Structure 1
Amino acid sequence: MSTVLKRHPSTSSSSEDDDDGVDCPLSGAEALAACKQFASVTNTDTGLAMMMLQNNEWDLERAINAYQGLTNDKPKSKNRNQTSESDLKRIKSKESTTLTESKYDKTKVKARFKLLSWNIDGLDEQENTIEIRTRGVIDVIKREEPDAVFLQEVIPIAFDLIRNLLPEYDSYTGNTQGYFVVILTRRELLKVQNIEIIKYPGTNMERNLLIVHEILQSDRSLLTTDQWTLLSNLFHIYNESKLSSIGQCLIDTSAVLQSTNISCQSLMQEFLTCIYETTGTYLHFNDDLRKLSFDNRSITLSNVANNVSCLGCAFVVQHFHLFALEIFSNTLEVMYGKPTVDIYRWTMKFIDLDIVLIKLALSLFAFSGNTCSYSPNISTELTDPIIILEIQNKYAEITWKYLLYRYGHYQAVQRFLNIISWLEALTIFVFHTQNLTTYINEIDLLAEQTELTLILDDIDQILETN
């Protein structure tokens, strides 16, 4: 059985006496700008840019030359180049996630393993860089799809990001404070048998040896193949990438906006518009909504649009800690009033950090039973309420099975109860939003546009059938 080992550049030495990285001579904004310029020139990401710049004392030209030297020195095997090109096409055609569809044949023994070892230099906590670099590490792991990952010099903030944004891996740590090592193993392939942590005698840095004993496993998931496929579709149907980009932009520009007392109304409006656009895409491609009868769809559409908009926005706001930005919360209070913002802030404490669970909850909440009418001309009596109950039951079953698969019975119960609390809190907020004229007008417009799109799709399907 052969092993494939890939190394990525480390950003610091591993000596016991010197764990400090190279001091950055640039401000946080300048460092971020340099990283973006490096990534643009080399067609890479800001995480790799950060590491190459650190290795080259933040000299942009030298870092680019060093990177190009590394890429030019790679073996030029024809077969390896062909594989790389096909991988690149696959990555560009669809955002990669290995969470939902197993690519391994469980009836055969895997002959080759891909391992990745990386010192991610978590101790080098330059302003505004640790999260950027960690996300760069995550991007590389998703792209390379290793079976096991060995990370050194990880700190708690980086570990939280890694654990939550790489749900397809089980994670094990040698410690939980200071800085420590982390081992990630692909959940669908490996099953943990035992974990050993051996402390190094005489160390002042709390260093230790982490050993994880694993065996190849068959797929013991409770989820059926159809449920895995549905879970994959749900994961991709709500694409928060543009929202995340705007959220990061709000963070990057908040200091400038505050210091110059410039209103961020236009940036906030772009964020809210993107919420509605992302929700519209979700509604358009949601098969359950498309399969409802015309009458049932008309009744539920505004309610679904409202629920998805509220929950999706809560997810992004919490993920980027946008309420920590005074200018963000102040602008929302001007637009919607302080009571509304206070209720919305209260719902945040129930949000689970598992991104897959969030997207499951989004679909579960979309078809929740608090159906209401935003127009006196629309009936609230469903022609076939059993169909809605069947949709809810389907999402609830998948959510429960995923929790058992990921966390075990005890944590599954805790997290499921937390989801219920979150949905109850958001239900209170959703009813409160019915008094916000501006918001309701946006939801009505979104529902009308979606209904028109779905009707046109229905007509196209009828014409194709005939």
Structure 2
Amino acid sequence: MSLNRPARPLKLCLVCDDFARGMNFDVLTCMSCKAFFRRHAAQAGKELRCLLNNDCSITQQTRGACSACRLKKCLALGMNPALIRSSPKKLKNTTQSQLCDASIEDKQIVRLPQPTTLSLLAKDNSTLTFDEWNLLSNVIHAYDEENVITAAQKLLREQASLPVKIRAKRMMVFELIGTFFSAIKPFLYYSPHFHSLSPDVRRVLIENNLNGMGALNAMFGAYELKLFGNDSHVRTCYEIYGEEYVKDSELLANRSEQNGTLVKMFLITLAFSTNCSLVEECQITTSTNTSVTSSIALTRIQDVFIVMLWKYLVYQYGYLGAVRRLDHLVKFYLDILNRLNELNSKEHRDMINVIIDQTTHSLTLDD
């Protein structure tokens, strides 16, 4: 496949955003998070307790504040306790009888703390399999290859350094917003599932879904970066989109899902969807649309990602919490699609069409 591989940005730890030192226990992490996971993985659900709401933000600055939430994030990202090895020195100083007596406990430490079984259906124990954890980790890694939040922060810093009169011009606003739409391209590029589809199917998926995916990504980014608190940016957005549209968009962004892992999983699920986007009749031909909706391969891929998404939700929030979270996420996305339908900026539409054309050309070449 003759694709131009995107330039790799500086790699960051997926747990705390510190500089990453490599893959540790199946996830890209820094040395601090590697050591933390080695020490604490056997204690999941036992000794570690969050003193707040079990939803602490884990960053390089806060990672030492809550071990329970840090460990939960490690496991959610796919760090594998089965890869932790027992210390040779400890084994050397332990008698054979002690080893026998402690064999069950040692095996538990070496293997993993399995998530509590929360049955959804009689045949589904709602725990992610080893392959599903790996897939989840790969999805997050693929998204983070673009480092879109870091790139957007850099653009904002560059704008802030300019004189007030030329700060946040229309071109700069479009460049910033376009960053979140362009980030979908490498996200799909690193997906083997995407490349397993025919070029025609890939093309239709990009044309149908990239606009909605990019808008969801932009809303998440606006919330993370507090863009609506940037006066220069907001004033220029008023000029482009109209004050009412921007204020309504701010209210929508404030409802954004705060779990970044969940957003990334939802994005990749939407990427393979055939009925979660606003599609104009002229965009696709009937024959091509039929080939997509009848594709057995695509249906199987959809099953893989929706099962992974649901199991992750149940693992993180329990059954009722998963229902509420998914309901909120779907409603949030539908409201985003509604906002897109009301958009009246030709400049914005032209920008998105260029990004869609570039992504389609890059990702639909024959293998």
Into which bin does the TM-score normalised by the smaller protein fall?
Answer: 0.5 to 0.7
2:201 maps to which of 296, 306, 309: 296
Does residue 238 of the first structure (1) align with residue 147 of the second (2)?
no
* Distance (whole Å) between structure 1 residues aligned to residue 32 and residue 320 of structure 2: 29
1:376 alignment partner in structure 2: 282
Change (3 A) 1:325 1:225: same
1:281 maps to which of 163, 167, 186: 186
1:450 maps to which of 353, 359, 365: 359
- Using the TM superposition, give the Cα deviation of residue 326 of structure 1 relative to its aligned residue in structure 2, in angstroms: 1.9
**Residue pair 1:242, 1:274 contacting (<8 A) in 2 also:** no
Change (3 A) 1:240 1:269: farther
Change (3 A) 1:328 1:269: same
User: What do the CA deviations read for 1:138-163 (whole angstroms, capped 9, x no partner)?
Assistant: 967446554458xxxx998xx84228
2:293 alignment partner in structure 1: 385
**Residue pair 1:350, 1:419 contacting (<8 A) in 2 also:** no
Amino acid at match of 2:325: R
Amino acid at match of 1:385: T
Which structure has greater helix proportion?
A: 2
Amino acid at match of 1:220: Q
- Using the TM superposition, give the Cα deviation of residue 401 of structure 1 relative to its aligned residue in structure 2, in angstroms: 0.6
- Using the TM superposition, give the Cα deviation of residue 244 of structure 1 relative to its aligned residue in structure 2, in angstroms: 2.1
* Distance (whole Å) between structure 1 residues aligned to residue 31 and residue 229 of structure 2: 29
2:348 maps to which of 408, 429, 439: 439
Change (3 A) 1:352 1:273: closer
Structure 1 residues not aligned, in runs of 5+: 1-44, 46-87, 104-137, 174-181, 191-214, 462-466
RMSD: 4.3
* Distance (whole Å) between structure 1 residues aligned to residue 155 and residue 73 of structure 2: 34
1:263 alignment partner in structure 2: 167
- Using the TM superposition, give the Cα deviation of residue 235 of structure 1 relative to its aligned residue in structure 2, in angstroms: 0.5
TM-score, L = length of structure 2: 0.64
* Distance (whole Å) between structure 2 residues aligned to residue 399 and residue 336 of structure 1: 34
Give 3-state SS (helix, strand or coil) of 2:144's partner: coil
1:353 alignment partner in structure 2: 258
- Using the TM superposition, give the Cα deviation of residue 363 of structure 1 relative to its aligned residue in structure 2, in angstroms: 1.5
Larger Rg: 1
- Using the TM superposition, give the Cα deviation of residue 316 of structure 1 relative to its aligned residue in structure 2, in angstroms: 1.3
Structure 2 residues not aligned, in runs of 5+: 1-12, 14-18, 41-49, 83-107, 116-126
Give 3-state SS (helix, strand or coil) of 2:284's partner: coil
TM-score, L = length of structure 1: 0.52
Change (3 A) 1:382 1:183: closer
**More RCO (CA 8 Å, sep 6+):** 2
* Distance (whole Å) between structure 2 residues aligned to residue 322 and residue 446 of structure 1: 22
- Using the TM superposition, give the Cα deviation of residue 251 of structure 1 relative to its aligned residue in structure 2, in angstroms: 6.0
* Distance (whole Å) between structure 1 residues aligned to residue 158 and residue 263 of structure 2: 27
1:218 alignment partner in structure 2: 112
- Using the TM superposition, give the Cα deviation of residue 310 of structure 1 relative to its aligned residue in structure 2, in angstroms: 0.8
* Distance (whole Å) between structure 1 residues aligned to residue 142 and residue 263 of structure 2: 13
- Using the TM superposition, give the Cα deviation of residue 385 of structure 1 relative to its aligned residue in structure 2, in angstroms: 1.0
Amino acid at match of 1:263: R
Change (3 A) 1:406 1:164: farther
